[in-house]
Chain A
């Protein structure tokens, strides 16, 4: 292609992107079509990829196809294998894609589609993609070292330990909040509960089949598993319509929470081939398939967004999560804009398989752009709903009551048109008894997906099927994460505490395993149960904590990147990682401080505890608590949440301190070297 033509194309992409951004930003009184969201996002990713990542690749790092990668130098046929760029892209994307980018944007939609969309796009282009890409480059140049090893080697042993404690704390809160999402989606839903429960025998069947009859035939067993899954999805409707069976599978939140805790324990102590591996096959393929399906669905149907661009809840009074746009929007979106977990993946298996150094750009930057696009799709799915319905699904019962009438009345007062009939009709369409207060994001996403997918295939008749398909899809990979995450947490506990309590550290002893697994499950189980019985619905308090934790991990990764920039002599480009780092620190620390010490009881944990404590000392029971004992428990929960927030703040501030120390050292070392040369 000639230079002129190429320039013309890029100018056209720029203009189109600008036009799309202007449309979504400036449209006020009419509805906006989802196409504009998609175009704005895709154009920005393309421009970011073409220009910014190109700049980083060639100007900063001078990525060179002739420099041998670890895959080439250390080939072992297993971990270190030069892998085709597209194959590796698929691997990397599958590893970074999860539930986070699907849920965060749904919650953020309470402020309207615009703030969330802008942060998803801007965050990805300047923060998320950059982090994933640069960590991948450094890991590749350091023989495929993990983030933890690189932190230890470049920033010192203490920094490595603090980072590990941080990662463990994040795992705990992540698993709790993901578990909570599933509980909220399945409570009193016999159809959903049956289908998700069936994944356990299906996974066991797959596991034994692969172990005993057909080892290694992943495709074959995955197809069998998928067909069984679809059958249980259909059978779920029969269960829900049967008067006896539906009672068996209508579980309350606490019952489901206990079921998950027990499941989590057994699934992570069983041999991996029995439960963990088959679950992973199913959820991986279902995840990729559903993401592609949703993309096609949105592109085919091009729905209109019903949610206003900006709602009044940017002032912090929203029912979905408390706190104003800054800093809480940036905490809530989480993985769609930047996710610290990706730094673990970018320094995990991917750098060991990179065939040529310049390919890090397409894989690191490109895969995150695609992940960010998944977040845009989630935002679309949430905002194609009637706003009134959205708020009915996402507001806790303590605010909107438990009947369609009360919910419609309250939400209409907020300024979103809603009738009780709209709620009962939507519930009927998706095959549920009620859709009120199904917080946590998954049900909203499922209703939105059902609307989009049924418009593409099947019409209203298939809406209930698509809804439960979406719930199944989310629950399946959340449960997989729960199993895998509990194992990770268990080994971290054994690593960290093995030095102090040698018995716990023996990874081959059953007692050590059981003890560490119990600790891991108890940790996330505590927060899960606390969230389930929380009268405000749990998501309200736990999701911000998770968001803070996740952004904190990203801040740790970017701190490392800044240190590495100085140590490797890229100091003049330090603004590239330092800008997103400073922004993340501002958001995370502000949000952390507000969650702990804000004077409004709806935001600050301690203010909430004080409010309850004052009432308790007068012997008054404050609604929505039912008894004095319940109030005492709520106070304890607030205090524990606040303590966890303080741990996060301490970890992030300590890491920045370690980072500055290493940068100073790096600078003086560079100076000495310079003087020596002179």
Chain B
């Protein structure tokens, strides 16, 4: 799985796949990496962009570190 997204793609299937993937990741507390990178580049151009692996670890700790208010 590559984390490349073709912005111009009008391929409905690709978009659908993307949404499902985004959804599935969000269900386990992992936000979209591409969006984060874009945000960093636009808003904080000076900051170094963490690798996907670093981003992943950071988010994992953020989600589970203090436990999550899990529903019964």
* Residues of A participating in the B interface, judged by any CB pair closer than 8 Å: 75-79, 81, 83-84, 86-88, 90-91, 94-100, 174, 178, 215-220, 268, 272-273, 276-277, 280-281, 284-285, 288, 334-335, 339, 341-342, 344-345, 348-349, 480-481, 484-491, 546, 550
The winner among B29, B43, B60 for most chain A CB atoms within 10 A is B60
A280 touches B71 (CB 8 A): no
Find chain B residues with CB under 8 A from A339 CB: 71-72
Given contacts A484-B68, A550-B72, contact A76 B39 (CB under 8 A): yes
Find chain B residues with CB under 8 A from A268 CB: 67
What residue of chain B has the Cβ atom nearest to residue A482's Cβ?
A: B70
A81 touches B31 (CB 8 A): yes
- Across chains A and B, the number of contacting residue pairs, with CB separation under 8 Å, is 129
Q: Would you call B35 an interface residue if the criterion is a C-beta within 8 Å of the partner chain's C-beta atoms?
A: yes
What residue of chain B has the Cβ atom nearest to residue A214's Cβ?
A: B53
Given contacts A77-B39, A77-B40, contact A91 B64 (CB under 8 A): no
A216 touches B71 (CB 8 A): no
B64 touches A87 (CB 8 A): no
Given contacts A77-B40, A174-B72, contact A484 B28 (CB under 8 A): no
Q: List 17 A-B contacts (CB under 8 A).
A: A76-B39, A78-B59, A78-B62, A79-B31, A86-B19, A90-B23, A90-B26, A97-B71, A100-B72, A174-B72, A215-B56, A216-B56, A273-B57, A276-B64, A345-B71, A487-B67, A489-B67
Q: Would you call B69 an interface residue if the criterion is a C-beta within 8 Å of the partner chain's C-beta atoms?
A: yes
Size of the chain B interface, CB-CB below 8 angstroms:
40
A77 touches B72 (CB 8 A): no
Starting from the known contacts A77-B37, A98-B72, A339-B72, 17 additional A-B residue pairs (CB-CB under 8 Å) come to: A75-B43, A76-B39, A86-B23, A91-B23, A91-B27, A98-B71, A178-B72, A216-B55, A216-B56, A272-B63, A272-B65, A280-B28, A280-B29, A285-B27, A345-B69, A348-B69, A349-B29
Q: Which residue in B22, B40, B60, B71 is a CB contact (below 8 Å) of A277?
A: B60
Shortest Cβ distance from residue A379 to the other chain B in the assembled complex, whole angstroms: 17
A84 touches B56 (CB 8 A): no
A341 touches B23 (CB 8 A): no
A75 touches B39 (CB 8 A): yes
A96 to B22, CA, bound (A): 18
A178 to B60, CA, bound (A): 25
Q: Is the interface of A mostly helix, strand, loop or mixed?
A: helix
Find chain B residues with CB under 8 A from A484 CB: 64, 67-68, 70
B40 touches A481 (CB 8 A): no
A95 touches B71 (CB 8 A): yes
B57 touches A487 (CB 8 A): no
B70 touches A87 (CB 8 A): no
A453 to B72, CA, bound (A): 24
What residue of chain B has the Cβ atom nearest to residue A347's Cβ?
A: B69
Q: Which residue in B36, B37, B72 is a CB contact (below 8 Å) of A341?
A: B72
B71 touches A488 (CB 8 A): no
Shortest Cβ distance from residue A539 to the other chain B in the assembled complex, whole angstroms: 14
Shortest Cβ distance from residue B4 to the other chain A in the assembled complex, whole angstroms: 15
Shortest Cβ distance from residue B20 to the other chain A in the assembled complex, whole angstroms: 8
Q: Would you call B66 an interface residue if the criterion is a C-beta within 8 Å of the partner chain's C-beta atoms?
A: yes
* Residues of B participating in the A interface, judged by any CB pair closer than 8 Å: 1, 19, 21-32, 35-40, 43, 52-53, 55-57, 59-72
A77 touches B35 (CB 8 A): yes
B22 touches A218 (CB 8 A): no
What residue of chain B has the Cβ atom nearest to residue A75's Cβ?
A: B39
Q: Which residue in B37, B53, B70 is a CB contact (below 8 Å) of A216?
A: B53
A171 to B39, CA, bound (A): 37
Find chain B residues with CB under 8 A from A76 CB: 39
Shortest Cβ distance from residue B51 to the other chain A in the assembled complex, whole angstroms: 9
A373 to B29, CA, bound (A): 24
What residue of chain B has the Cβ atom nearest to residue A550's Cβ?
A: B72
What residue of chain A has the Cβ atom nearest to residue B25's Cβ?
A: A218
B40 touches A485 (CB 8 A): no
Given contacts A95-B71, A100-B72, contact A84 B22 (CB under 8 A): yes
Shortest Cβ distance from residue A580 to the other chain B in the assembled complex, whole angstroms: 19
Find chain A residues with CB under 8 A from B59 CB: 78
Find chain A residues with CB under 8 A from B30 CB: 216, 218
Find chain B residues with CB under 8 A from A77 CB: 31, 35-40
A220 to B32, CA, bound (A): 17
A99 to B71, CA, bound (A): 8
B70 touches A481 (CB 8 A): yes
What residue of chain B has the Cβ atom nearest to residue A84's Cβ?
A: B19
B61 touches A272 (CB 8 A): yes
A342 to B71, CA, bound (A): 7
A78 to B65, CA, bound (A): 16
Find chain A residues with CB under 8 A from B63 CB: 272, 277
Find chain B residues with CB under 8 A from A81 CB: 31-32, 35-36
Q: Which residue in B31, B64, B70 is a CB contact (below 8 Å) of A272?
A: B64
A488 touches B69 (CB 8 A): yes
A91 touches B60 (CB 8 A): no
Shortest Cβ distance from residue B13 to the other chain A in the assembled complex, whole angstroms: 15
The winner among B29, B30, B62, B64 for most chain A CB atoms within 10 A is B64
Find chain A residues with CB under 8 A from B32 CB: 81
Q: Which residue in A79, A86, A218, A272 is a CB contact (below 8 Å) of B24?
A: A218
